[in-house]
């Protein structure tokens, strides 16, 4: 697998050099890199709940959504408690690649097809505002989370990729958003690969270490008077009271921002499934390697393949690379195989032969909660309107907006026109595969069908319950 390069320092064994087309998946360590970056951070893990408490607002789940809810409530005079099963950021938020971009699974052109220009603008504003909120929280709290300002580069592959790039550029311009297109001939100035056919670039996007973000915001919340209990899984909920193994919290208002809850804790669990993606990280790149990847400046990139790859440089100049496979994306359980990321790494090396010797060290995977049409679901329970739920947010900015939005509803601090999001995110919106059919064919098949339909064909009527909070009772699981 390895050849030996005769350039080692005198007296030392020569460094092994990877042959083209081989990859090091057998040497990859299965470990979330972001945990390593927590070493030396100031805040210790918060102890678990051991009492029976009363408060104004209880938040369940300390990912991007729950933390954004709590942040909105700081300084309002409300007594707030947050219960987190793991550590804050310990699920999707702290596993993520940390691309802060309005693009998630739904591109702008797809939103226009579904909702028309006005609806697409309403929905594009969600992640844009989510990003602004995250940046403002990072700055106001002084959170050190490797925040990198990096323009986005969506890279087309083949002739279909050229069309996808042109579509995205035209759509952005039609709605008044800036972007810049690179033809294949111009790409050499921005990316060190000749495997792409075109690209579109746009601004106001960032990279972040999601786990350090979560832990930093946790610190700000504690300083602001929020009671946070980690290692405190909610195991039962009834009325106004949530129970953990060793304690309970009774609250006037309850905001659920927890992932992967079963029907016992989430009567809307039928609305949520998940998709799985894999990440890997390298040793720091040398200056030459960085320049051969990004000749001018670092970007955050993803390509136009159905199973797309995505990559960016961290502040410590490590290359973070992600991707998935058709077999594991909708798998029911966590997959830990290194084969998937091994293939993503091999594909990357083919696109960037000059980086064939860069060593990937660790890999990890995560399942992202999502709904059938890739938009979140946000609701107040019709029969218990003090219970709020944020479900299936695909992307840190979406989760941040939704958590913040619900907290603003709790405070009744309504901004003009904002309640419309209850309509867009209504739990009873229409999907291609109805629930009765899904029960026969299973979520694993129904969700990809619904997801693909939402991405490529779906056209929506005006949101059903615009201006209303909540909706009719859900179908049973």
Ligand X SMILES: Cc1cc2nc3c(=O)[nH]c(=O)nc-3n(C[C@H](O)[C@H](O)[C@H](O)COP(=O)(O)OP(=O)(O)OC[C@H]3O[C@@H](n4cnc5c(N)ncnc54)[C@H](O)[C@@H]3O)c2cc1C
Q: What residue ranges bind ligand X (CB under 6 A)?
A: 60-66, 83-86, 90-93, 95-99, 233-234, 257-259, 261, 277, 279, 366, 368, 393-397, 399
Min dist CB 433 to ligand X, Å, is: 23
Q: How far is the CB of 371 from ligand X (least distance, A)?
A: 12
The DSSP result for 75-103, as a single string, is: TTT--EEEE-SSSTTTTTTTTS--EE-S-
Task: Report, in Å, the least distance between residue 464 CB and ligand X.
Answer: 23
Minimum CB distance to ligand X smaller for 206 or for 431: 206
Contacts of 379 (CB under 8 A, 6+ apart): 268, 388, 389, 391, 422, 425, 426, 427, 469, 470, 471
Torsion angle of C-alpha atoms 52, 58, 61, 66, degrees rounded to 10:
-150
Q: Which is nearer to ligand X, 162 or 399 (CB)?
A: 399
Q: How far is the CB of 191 from ligand X (least distance, A)?
A: 19
CB of 72 to ligand X, least distance (A): 14
Q: Cβ-closest residue to ligand X?
A: 63
- Structure-token pair, residue 120: 């697409």
Pairing of strands 248-256, 52-60: parallel
Q: Closer to ligand X by CB, 130 or 162: give it.
A: 130
Q: In this structure, what token pair is assigned to residue 230?
A: 């980690």
Choose between 153 and 181: whose C-beta lies nearer to ligand X: 153
Structure tokens at 232: 């405190």
Taking CA 342 as the corner, what is the angle to CA 340 and CA 348, rounded to the nearest 5 degrees? 110
Rounded least distance, CB 419 to ligand X, Å: 21
**Which pair of tokens denotes residue 440?**
């026969």
Torsion of CA 344, 347, 351, 352, to 10 degrees: 70
Q: Distance between CA atoms of 149 and 151, rounded to whole angstroms?
A: 7
Using the minimum distance from each CB to ligand X, give the nearer residue, 63 or 471.
Answer: 63
Nearer to ligand X among residue 181 and residue 348 (C-beta): 348
Alpha helix ranges (H) inside 156-307: 158-174, 210-223, 287-293
Give the residue ranges of DSSP H helices in 224-368. 287-293, 326-329, 339-351
Minimum distance from CB of 5 to ligand X (Å)?
A: 34
DSSP letter assigned to residue 474: P
Which parts of 193-302 fold into alpha helices (H)?
A: 210-223, 287-293
Shortest reach from residue 2's CB to ligand X, in Å: 29
CB of 137 to ligand X, least distance (A): 14
SS3 155: strand
Exposed, middle or buried: residue 444 (CB in 10 Å: 0-12, 13-18, 19+)?
exposed
CB of 308 vs ligand X, minimal distance in Å: 12
Nearer residue to ligand X within complex by CB, 198 or 396: 396
d(CA 35, CA 78) in angstroms, rounded, equals: 32
| 462-to-249, 429, 431, 466 alpha-carbon distances in Å | 39, 10, 14, 8
Task: Decide whether 83 or 126 has the Cβ nearer to ligand X.
Answer: 83
Which lies closer to ligand X via its Cβ, residue 119 or residue 324? 324
Closer CB to ligand X, 67 or 112, in the complex = 67
Q: 322, 365 in Cβ contact below 8 A?
A: no
Query: Judged by CB, which is closer to ligand X: 65, or 80?
Result: 65
Smallest separation, CB 395 to ligand X (Å): 4
Residue whose CB is less far from ligand X, 98 or 192: 98
Exposed, middle or buried: residue 16 (CB in 10 Å: 0-12, 13-18, 19+)? middle
> C-beta of 99: minimal distance to ligand X in Å?
3
């Amino acid at each position: 697998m390895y050849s030996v390069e005769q350039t080692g320092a005198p007296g030392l064994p020569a460094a092994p050099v990877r042959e083209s087309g081989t990859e090091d998946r057998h040497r990859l360590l299965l470990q979330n890199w972001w945990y390593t970056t927590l070493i030396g951070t100031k805040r210790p893990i918060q102890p678990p709940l051991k009492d029976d408490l009363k408060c104004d607002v209880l938040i369940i789940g300390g990912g991007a959504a729950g933390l954004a809810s709590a942040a909105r409530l700081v300084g309002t005079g409300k007594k707030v408690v947050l219960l987190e099963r793991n550590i804050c950021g310990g699920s999707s938020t702290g596993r993520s690649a940390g691309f802060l971009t309005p693009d998630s699974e739904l591109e702008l052109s797809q939103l226009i097809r579904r909702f028309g220009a006005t609806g697409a603008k309403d929905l594009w504003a969600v992640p844009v505002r989510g990003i602004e909120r995250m940046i403002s929280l990072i700055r106001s709290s002084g959170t050190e989370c490797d925040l990198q300002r990096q323009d986005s580069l969506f890279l087309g592959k083949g002739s279909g990729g050229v069309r996808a790039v042109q579509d995205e550029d035209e759509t952005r311009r039609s709605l008044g958003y800036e972007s810049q297109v690179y033809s294949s001939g111009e790409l050499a100035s921005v990316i060190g690969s000749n495997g792409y056919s075109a690209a579109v670039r746009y601004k106001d996007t960032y990279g972040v270490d999601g786990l350090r973000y979560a832990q930093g915001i946790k610190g700000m919340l504690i300083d602001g008077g929020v009671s946070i209990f980690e290692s405190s899984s909610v195991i039962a909920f009834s009325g106004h009271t949530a129970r953990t193994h060793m304690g309970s919290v009774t609250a006037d208002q309850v905001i659920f921002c927890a992932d992967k809850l079963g029907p016992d804790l989430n009567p809307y669990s039928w609305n949520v499934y998940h998709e799985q993606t894999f990440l890997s990280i390298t040793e720091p790149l040398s200056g030459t390697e960085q320049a051969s990847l990004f000749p001018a400046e670092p970007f955050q990139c993803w390509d136009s393949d159905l199973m797309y790859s995505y990559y960016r440089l961290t502040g410590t100049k490590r290359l973070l690379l992600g991707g998935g496979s058709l077999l594991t994306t909708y798998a029911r359980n966590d997959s830990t195989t290194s084969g998937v990321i091994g293939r993503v790494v091999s594909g990357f090396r083919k696109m960037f032969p000059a980086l064939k010797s860069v060593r990937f060290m660790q890999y990890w995977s995560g399942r992202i909660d999502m709904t059938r049409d890739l938009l979140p679901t946000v609701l107040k329970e019709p029969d218990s309107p003090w219970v709020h739920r944020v479900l299936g947010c695909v992307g840190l900015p979406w989760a941040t907006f939704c958590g913040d939005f619900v907290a603003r509803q709790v405070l009744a601090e309504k901004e003009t026109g904002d309640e419309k999001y209850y309509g867009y995110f209504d739990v009873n919106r229409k999907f291609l595969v109805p629930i009765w059919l899904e029960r026969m064919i299973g979520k694993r098949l129904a969700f990809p069908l619904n997801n693909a339909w939402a991405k490529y064909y779906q056209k929506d009527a005006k949101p059903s319950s615009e201006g209303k909070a909540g909706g009719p009772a859900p179908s049973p699981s």
